[in-house]
Structure 1
Amino acid sequence: MRELFHRKLERSALGFVFAIIAAASVGGIVEIAPLFTIDETVEEAPDMRLYTPLELAGRNIYIREGCYACHSQMIRTLRDDVERYGPYSLAVESKYDRPMLWGSKRTGPDLARVGGKYSDFWHVAHLTNPRDVVPQSNMPGYPWLARNALDVDDLGLHLQAQQTLGVPYSDEMVANAARDAMGQASPDSAFADGVSERYGDATQISSFDGVTTQVTEMDALVSYLQILGRLTDAAYRGTVAEEQVPNPNN
C-alpha cells in the first residue's frame, strides 16, 4: 500500500512538488520558530563592551589569514571542553560578532577564552614562529604581521559598517576610530586617554608587539586575541559560574 502511494506520488509532478515543500517547511519551522522567543533565551550582559577599532582590525586580520579554519571560538557544554577551556560559551558573548566565528574545526585549540591567558610577548613569539613556544605545533608562522603597518585610515568605515548591522558604536567612536587605534597601541601617546574614555577603563592599552614607533598588524591581532572571552564576565556570574570549572586563565 505504501509502495503504491509512493509510486503514484512520483508520477504526479505537482503532487511531488507539494510534498517537497511540505517536508522542507517542517525543517524551516523548527529552525525559525525559536527565533520568536530569542529575547527570552539570550542572556543579558549589562557589562558587555564593544570591540575597539584596533581589536576590530585584529579580528579582520584573523579572518583574512584564515585563523578560523583551524580554531573554533565556542566552548561546548561537554565536560571535556569545560575542563580544558573554561566555562562554556554563552550566546550573549557573540552579541556583537559580525560575522560570528564559532566554528567546528579544531586543528588548533579553541580560542574563546584565550584572552589574558598568555602575555603579549608570548603571542608575538607564537605568531612569528609557533614552534619557538609550542615545539609540537603545526601552525604556520605570520612574521610579516610585525612588519606590516596597520591601515588605520579606513577604520571609521569599518565601524560604520558595524553600526549598520546593529552594533551600537556612537558617532564619536566612528569619528575617532583611527586615533583610538593608534592610542591603544601607544600607551604614552596623546590618544591613549581617549580610548579609555570611549571604551572603558578596563580596555587594555599596550604596545602589543613591543614597538611604539608604528602601529602594526601584529598589534591589532594580538589586541584581538587578548580580548577573546573578556568582553563580558556573564559566563562567570551567578549559577553559571558555580556550575562550571573555574576560569583556567586565573
Structure 2
Amino acid sequence: MSFFKHESIEINAGLLIALTMVVISIGGLVEIVPLFYIKDTIEKVEGVRPYSPLELRGRDIYQREGCYLCHSQMIRPFRDEMLRYGHYSLAAESQYDHPFQWGSKRTGPDLARVGGKYSNEWHVAHMINPRDVVPESIMPSYPWLMENELQYADVADRMRALKKAGVPYSETREEYQANVEKFGQEAADKLNILAAEQYLVAEAQAGNFDGDRSRLTEMDALVAYLQVLGTMVDFSQYEEGHFVEFR
C-alpha cells in the first residue's frame, strides 16, 4: 500500500516539488530558529576589531583581484590544518567581515594566519612575481599593484556602508567613546569615519608596506591587509601548541 502512495508522489511532478520544498523548509527552520534563542552565537574574544581604513582598502583590492578564489581564510579544527596554519578559525574573527572570506576551495594555502609570518618585502616580491620567493608557485603576478596609486577619497563612504551592516565605525562623540572603551584609544582613532583619510595616509607612511615612502600605492593597502590577518587575537591564551611555519 505504501509503495503505491510513494509511486503516486513520484509521478506527480507538482506534488513532488511541493513536498520537497516543505521538507527543505522544515530542515532550514530546524537549523535557523534555535539561533534566535541563543544569547551568544559568537564567542567573546578579546582583540578583534574592525579594519582600519588602510586595511579596509586592502581588503577591497584583495576581493577585486579575486584572491579569495584560490585562498581561504578558514582553518578547520583538524590536527593537520592546525599543525600547518595555526589555531582553528573562530567565528568572532569574521564578525566584522562583509562578506567573509572563508572560501570554498584552496589552490593556494589558507591565509587566516598569514599576518606577521613574512616581511613586507616578502609580500611585495611575492605579489610582483611569486616565483621569485616560491619557485613552484602557480599564482599569477600582480605587478600593477606597485604601479597603481591607491584611490582612497571614498574610504569614508565605504566605512559608512559597513556601519549600516553593523560594523562599529564612529561618526559621533558617543560612538567614538564607545569604541575607546571597547577597542582602546589607538584603534578607536582609526575607526573614526570623519578622520578616515588622515589615518589611512598616516598608517601607510608609518608602515611603509610597499617599501616606497614617496608614493601611496595599492600594494601598501594590500600588504597592510595581509599583515593583519590572524594577528588580532592572542591565541596563546586559548591553546598552547607548536604550529608549523606557513608554507
For residues 16 and 134 of structure 1, the distance between their equivalents in structure 2, rounded to whole angstroms, comes to 53
* Cα displacement (A) at 1:14: 6.9
- Match of 1:166, as an amino acid? G
Deviation, 1:13, is 6.9
Match of 2:177 in 1: none
- 1-structure distance, mates of 2:166, 2:14: 42
Distance 2:128 2:113 in 1: 21
| In 1: Cα distance, 2:209 partner to 2:114 partner | 15
Gaps of 5+ in 2: 173-191
Shift of 1:113: 0.1
Q: How many pairs align?
A: 227
Cα distance between partner residues in 2 of 1:13 and 1:72: 39
Deviations 1:147-192 (A, max 9, x none): 10111100000100110000000116111111111111112xxxxx
> For 1:8 and 1:67, how far apart are their aligned partners in 2?
49
Counterpart for residue 157 of structure 2: 157
Please report the TM-score for the alignment, with normalisation by the length of structure 1.
0.84
Aligned partners of 1:87 and 1:245 also within 8 Å? no
CA distance in 1, matches of 2:37, 2:78: 25
User: What does residue 167 of structure 1 align with?
Assistant: 167
* Structure 2 Cα separation of the partners of residues 11 and 72 of structure 1: 43
User: Which of 199, 202, 225 is matched with 1:180 structurally?
Assistant: 199
Equivalence for 1:215: 216
Deviation at 1:247, TM superposition (A): 7.8
Aligned AA (1:25): S
Q: Aligned pair in 2 of structure 1 residues 166, 247: CA closer, same or farther (>3 Å)?
A: farther
Separation in 2, partners of 1:12, 1:63: 45
- In 2, distance between residues paired with 1:214 and 1:39? 47
CA distance in 2, matches of 1:162, 1:22: 35
Structure 1 alignment gaps of length 5 or more:
188-205
Whole-angstrom distance in 2 between the partners of 1:110 and 1:228: 11
User: What RMSD over aligned residues (CA atoms) do the two structures have, in Å?
Assistant: 2.0
- 8 Å CA contact 2:84–2:243 kept in 1: the answer is no
Q: Percent identical across equivalent pairs?
A: 52
Matches within 5 A, 1:61-140: 61-140=61-140
Look up the match of 1:60. 60
Answer yes or no: is the 8 Å Cα contact 1:130–1:140 preserved in 2: yes
SS at match of 1:89: coil
The 3-state SS of whatever aligns with 2:40 is: helix
Shift, 1:231, TM fit: 2.4
Equivalence for 1:229? 230
Taking the TM superposition and a 5 Å limit, the aligned residue runs for 1:201-212 are 206-212=207-213
Alpha-carbon shift at residue 74 of structure 1 (Å): 0.4
2:30 aligns with 30
Label 1:150 to 1:8 Cα distance change in 2 as closer, same or farther (>3 A).
same
Paired amino acid for 1:153: A
CA distance in 1, matches of 2:47, 2:215: 31
Shift of 1:19: 1.9
Report the TM-score when normalising by structure 2: 0.85
Conserved? CA contact 2:72–2:111, under 8 Å: yes
